[in-house]
């Protein structure tokens, strides 16, 4: 199977990766927006969890990660519900980790274990702590963090493809961990990560959309228009349920039109964001 990405290029993939990409759990991510409900007020930020998942897999591959870590990269977000992290607001998950809590259950109920088994792998490959290219705690770089940073900023128009390629050329691996080859690259990604948090995640209109949609979903759950398992579907499916209820549909249109945004902004969102900063590791350029 061939696949391509705007950042990383074209690749011929092993059969296991092709089968996993074509599986229903991964294909579902095409209809789960990376930024939750932000696309309702910022249509240019309409990229999906699928794009990000493919990107993480390819970045791990580009940096020399083995097949198991590429599999883990591809599947790391497969348990995200409709509207991504919006569900954390609905269920009051301060750690923003509901998708991690249900990861094993989502995997177990899917075709993924049988696909892995067909190629001699088990589901244990998905949560191997040795996958240090894929995931590292802040403030370190990792493939997941790098990809969502550059992808969100790119789609939102805050960086261009030349900047991204220049930065990717500065990446390297030392002791199994991702670093950068220059102070300039370290400064660039540190600044861009800060920009992502301040101008994208904390953009008042985005907070408004995510907060209001979370309340809309909670109301839908209370009314029985939506049940919790529906959130394991995708954004269009949940939007269709919301639109089926006249009152919820009116509220949805208000969100799209930023109706009530001024009073929301004046009163403050009430959301406490985690402080996130990067401290990239400098590696030898040789």
Confirm whether 222 is domain-assigned. Answer: no
> How much of the chain exceeds pLDDT 70, in percent?
97
Q: What is the pTM of this model?
A: 0.95
Residue 45 domain-assigned (yes or no): yes
Read off the pLDDT of each residue in 267-271 and give the average, rounded to a whole number.
68
For 159-203, the pLDDT digits (tens) are 999 999 999 999 999 999 999 999 999 999 999 999 999 999 999
* Residue 112 within any structural domain of the chain: yes
Dump the DSSP string for 125-166.
Answer: GGG-TT-TTT---TTS--HHHHHHHHHHHHHTTSS-HHHHHH
Whether residue 153 is contained in a domain is answered as: yes
Instruction: Report in angstroms the alpha-carbon separations of 262 from 205, 249, 254, 258, 282.
Output: 10, 21, 12, 8, 44
4-48 per-position pLDDT tens digit:
999 999 999 999 999 999 999 999 999 999 999 999 999 988 999
Tell me which residue range forms the domain holding 163: 2-203+275-282
Q: Considering its fold, how many domains does the chain have in total?
A: 1
Sign of the CA dihedral with 115 first, then 22, 16, and 130 last? negative
Q: Let me know if residue 230 belongs to a domain.
A: no
List pLDDT tens digits, range 74-121: 999 999 999 999 999 999 887 788 999 999 999 999 999 999 999 999
Question: Does residue 216 lie in a domain region?
Answer: no
Residue 98 vs residues 44, 71, 77, 234, 270: alpha-carbon distances, Å: 26, 21, 11, 16, 20
* Helix axis angle, 204-223 to 235-243, nearest 10°: 60
- Output the domain CATH number for residue 166: 1.10.3210.10
Gap between the Cα atoms of 72 and 13, Å rounded: 15
Residue 252 neighbours by CB under 8 Å, 6+ apart: 213, 216, 239, 242, 243
Here the tokens at position 251 are 């509220």
Looking at the domain assignment, is residue 157 inside a domain?
A: yes
Q: Is residue 171 part of a domain?
A: yes
């Amino acid at each position: 199977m061939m696949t391509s990405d705007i950042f990383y290029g074209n690749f011929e993939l092993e059969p296991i990766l092709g089968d996993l990409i074509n599986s229903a759990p991964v294909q579902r991510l095409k209809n789960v927006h990376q930024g939750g409900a932000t696309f309702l007020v910022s249509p240019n930020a309409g990229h999906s969890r699928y794009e990000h998942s493919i990107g993480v897999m390819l970045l791990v591959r580009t940096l020399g990660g083995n097949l198991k870590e590429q599999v883990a990269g591809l599947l790391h977000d497969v348990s995200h519900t409709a509207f991504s992290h919006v569900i954390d607001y609905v269920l009051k998950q301060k750690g923003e980790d509901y998708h991690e809590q249900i990861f094993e259950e989502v995997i177990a109920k899917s075709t993924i274990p049988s696909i892995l088994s067909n190629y001699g792998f088990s589901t244990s490959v998905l949560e191997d702590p040795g996958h240090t290219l894929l995931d590292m705690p802040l403030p370190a770089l990792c493939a997941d963090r790098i990809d969502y940073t550059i992808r969100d900023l790119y789609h939102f128009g805050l960086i261009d493809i030349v900047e991204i390629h220049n930065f990717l050329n500065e990446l390297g691996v030392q002791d199994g961990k991702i670093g950068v080859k220059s102070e300039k690259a370290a400064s660039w990604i540190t600044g861009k990560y800060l920009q992502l948090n301040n101008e994208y995640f904390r953009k008042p209109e985005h907070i408004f959309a995510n907060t209001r949609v979370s309340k809309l979903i909670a109301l839908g759950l209370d009314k029985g228009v939506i049940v919790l398992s529906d959130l394991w579907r995708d954004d269009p499916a949940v939007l269709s349920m919301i639109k089926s209820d006249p009152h919820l549909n009116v509220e949805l249109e208000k969100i799209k039109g930023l109706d009530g945004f001024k009073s929301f902004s004046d009163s403050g969102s009430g959301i406490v964001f985690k402080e996130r900063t990067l401290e990239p590791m400098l590696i030898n350029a040789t």
